[in-house]
Structure 1
Amino acid sequence: MISSPPKLRDELEVIRGMDDIPLIFDPVTGNYHRITRAGEVVLTYLDGTRTREELVAFFSRADTTRTDALARQIDNFLSTLSKSGLLEGSDRPDKPGTGGRVRTSMVMPRIVLTRSLPRVLAPVATALQAVPATLLVLIAALGAIAGYTFGFHTLLASMPPLQGLGGPAFLIATCVMLLYVLVHETAHALVAQMLGTPVRGLGVALLFYFMPVAYVDRTDAYRVRDRGGRVVLALAGILSDGWFCALSGAVALNSDGLLKETAAYLLGMQLFMLVINLNPLMPSDGYTALEAATGLTNARGRAFAVLRHTARRQELPAHLANLSTSARRGYMAYGLFSLAYACFLAYAMFHALPATMDLALSMVGR
Structure 2
Amino acid sequence: MISSPPKLREGLEVIRGMDDIPLIFDPVSGHYHRITRSAEALLGYLDGTRTRDDLVAYFSENARVDQARADAFSRQLDTFLAGLERSGLLEGSEQTEQGTGASPSAGGKRFRTSMLMPRVVLTRSLPTVLEPVARVLRALPARLIVVLATLGAVTGYAFGFHTLFTGTPGLRDLAGPAFLIATGVMLLIVLAHESAHALVAQYLKVPIRGLGVALLFYFMPVAYVDRTDAYRLRGRGGRVLLAMAGVLSDGWFCGVVGLVALNSSGLVQHTAAFLLGMQMFLLIVNLNPLMPSDGYTAVEAAAGLTNMRGRAFTLLRHTIRRQPLPEHLARFGTGARRWHVTYALASVAYGCFLAYAMFHTIPLSVDLALSVVGR
TM-score, normalized by length of structure 2?
Answer: 0.81
Q: Deviations over 1:109-162 (max 9, x none)?
A: 322222211111111111111110000000000000000000111111122222
Of the three residues 119, 122, 125, the one matched with 2:128 is 119
**In the alignment, which residue of structure 2 is the partner of 1:33?**
33
Q: What displacement does 1:287 show?
A: 1.1
For the pair 1:296 / 2:302, whether they are aligned, the reply is no
Q: Map of 1:277-292 to 2, 5 A cutoff?
A: 277-292=286-301
Q: Which has the higher mean CA deviation after the structures are superposed, 273-282 or 42-51?
A: 42-51
Query: What amino acid is aligned across from residue 278 of structure 1 in structure 2?
Result: L
Identity fraction in percent = 63
Distance in 1, matches of 2:278 and 2:38, equals 48
Partner of 1:268: 277
- 1:214: Cα distance to partner? 1.6
Do residues 54 (structure 1) and 62 (structure 2) align?
no
Q: Which runs of 5+ in 2 are unaligned?
A: 98-103, 316-328
Out of 265, 268, 289, the residue aligned to residue 256 of structure 1 is: 265
Tell me the equivalent position of 1:314.
none
- The one-letter amino acid paired with 2:57 is A
Secondary structure in structure 2 of the residue aligned to 1:90: coil
1:282–1:128 CA distance, 2 compared to 1 (3 A): same
Query: Helix, strand or coil: the match of 2:146?
Result: helix
SS of 2:117 mapped into structure 1: coil
1:171-182 paired onto structure 2 within 5 Å: 171-182=180-191
Deviates more, 1:119-128 or 1:71-80: 71-80
Q: 5 Å matches for 1:13-32?
A: 13-32=13-32
Q: Residues 63 and 274 from structure 1, CA distance in 2 versus in 1: closer, same or farther, beyond 3 angstroms? A: farther
Larger deviation, residues 81-90 vs 183-192: 81-90
Distance 1:351 1:49, change over 3 A: closer
| Unaligned runs of at least 5 residues, structure 1 | 306-316
- Secondary structure of 1:105's match? strand
Q: 2:209 aligns with which of 200, 225, 237?
A: 200
Which residue does 1:103 correspond to in 2? 111
Q: Is the 8 A contact 1:3 1:89 kept in 2?
A: no
Q: Give the SS at the match of 2:113.
A: coil
Instruction: State the SS of the aligned residue for 1:104.
Output: strand
| 2:6 aligned partner | 6
Against the structure 1 CA distance between its residues 189 and 293, is the aligned structure 2 distance closer, same or farther, given a 3 Å change threshold? same
Tell me what 2:322 maps to: none
Residues 87-109 of structure 1: CA deviation (Å, up to 9, x unaligned) = 01112469967754x22216333
TM-score w.r.t. the length of structure 1 is: 0.83
Say if 2:221 is the partner of 1:212: yes
Letter in 1 for 2:264: S
Report the equivalent of 1:81.
Answer: 84
Q: Would you say the 8 A contact 1:12–1:26 is kept in 2?
A: yes
Aligned mate of 2:169, from 127, 139, 160: 160
The amino acid that maps onto 1:31 is H
User: Does the C-alpha gap of structure 1 residues 104 and 363 become closer, same or farther in structure 2, counting only changes over 3 Å?
Assistant: same
The one-character-per-residue Cα deviations of 1:186-218 (angstroms, maximum 9, x if unpaired) are 001111111111111212223345543221111
Match for residue 70 of structure 1 among 44, 57, 73: 73
Q: Distance in 2 between matches of 1:110 and 1:155?
A: 33
Task: Please give the alpha-carbon distance, in whole angstroms, between the structure 2 residues aligned to 1:208 and 1:158.
Answer: 36
Map residues 310-329 of structure 1 onto 2, 5 A cutoff. Answer: 319-321=331-333
Partner of 2:44: 44
**Are the structure 2 counterparts of residues 20 and 99 from structure 1 closer, same or farther at C-alpha, using a change threshold of 3 Å?**
closer
Match of 1:183 among 182, 185, 192: 192
- Structure 2 CA distance for aligned equivalents of residues 99 and 211 of structure 1: 24
What per-residue deviation string (whole Å, max 9, x for no partner) do you get for residues 319-344 of structure 1?
45498xxx99xx79xx79x969x78x
Code of the aligned partner of 2:83: T
